[in-house]
């Protein structure tokens, strides 16, 4: 699958993409922290968190990873699964679903539509699988900017949740 939108090429990911995904996650932590957001992902680089490297490696081997490239360089990553993470206090849907387990963009390409292109790809992959429900959970803290991003991309809020003190929001999108 080689979807191309506005110069963005989306391809299947693999274990060889794990270092690039970790770099994106690490840069996202720095970017959030520079803006005063230390609650969403904390202050420790993702690659240094206990289990962080192993989680990304599992994403690339046990789930459906996709890499967005711009000018041949990784600019974003999406991981789809058949349901939410077992570590999250979220019940699987009562019907078949695809679930966005990870969406991250390289902050050097912020504002170029990488995240939106990856979500559009998730919608198409969900349709191709014959599934009508695509869900995602995200951090609902701060000013709600992340929830608003998903809403701008066709998702609707379904259920808020708390994971410890971390406020989250589940959003859903019908694709059938």
pLDDT band (50, 70, 90) for residue 1: very low
User: What are the pLDDT digits (tens) for 105-145?
Assistant: 998 898 999 999 999 999 999 999 999 999 999 999 888 89
Q: Residue 159 domain-assigned?
A: no
| Residue 121: half-sphere exposure toward Cβ, Cα within 13 Å | 29
Sheet containing 156-163: order of strands: 3-5, 8-12, 64-70, 73-81, 98-105, 133-139, 166-174, 156-163
2 pLDDT above the threshold of 60: no
Q: Residue 148 domain-assigned?
A: no
Q: Residue 156 domain-assigned?
A: no
In Å, how far from its chain's centre is CA 151?
14
User: What are the pLDDT digits (tens) for 136-170?
Assistant: 999 998 888 999 999 999 999 999 998 888 899 99
Q: Looking at residue 57, which CATH number applies to its domain?
A: 3.40.630.30
Q: What is the domain range of residue 87?
A: 3-132
The predicted pLDDT at position 114 comes to: 96
Structural domains of the chain, count? 1
């Amino acid at each position: 699958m080689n979807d191309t939108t506005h110069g963005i090429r989306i391809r299947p990911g693999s274990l060889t993409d794990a270092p690039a995904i970790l770099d994106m996650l690490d840069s996202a932590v720095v970017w959030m922290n520079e803006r005063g957001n230390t609650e969403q992902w904390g202050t420790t680089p993702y690659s240094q968190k206990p289990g962080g490297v192993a989680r990304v490696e599992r994403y690339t081997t046990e789930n459906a990873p996709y890499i967005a490239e711009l000018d041949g360089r990784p600019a974003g990553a999406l991981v789809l699964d058949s349901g939410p993470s077992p570590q999250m206090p979220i019940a699987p849907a009562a019907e078949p679903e695809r679930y966005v387990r990870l969406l991250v963009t390289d902050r050097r390409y912020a504002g170029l539509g990488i995240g939106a292109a990856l979500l559009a790809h998730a919608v198409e992959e969900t349709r191709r699988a014959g599934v009508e429900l695509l869900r995602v959970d995200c951090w609902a803290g701060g000013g709600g900017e992340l929830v608003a991003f998903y809403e701008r991309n066709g998702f609707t809020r379904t259920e808020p949740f708390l994971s410890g003190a971390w406020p989250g929001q589940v959003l859903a999108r019908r694709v059938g």
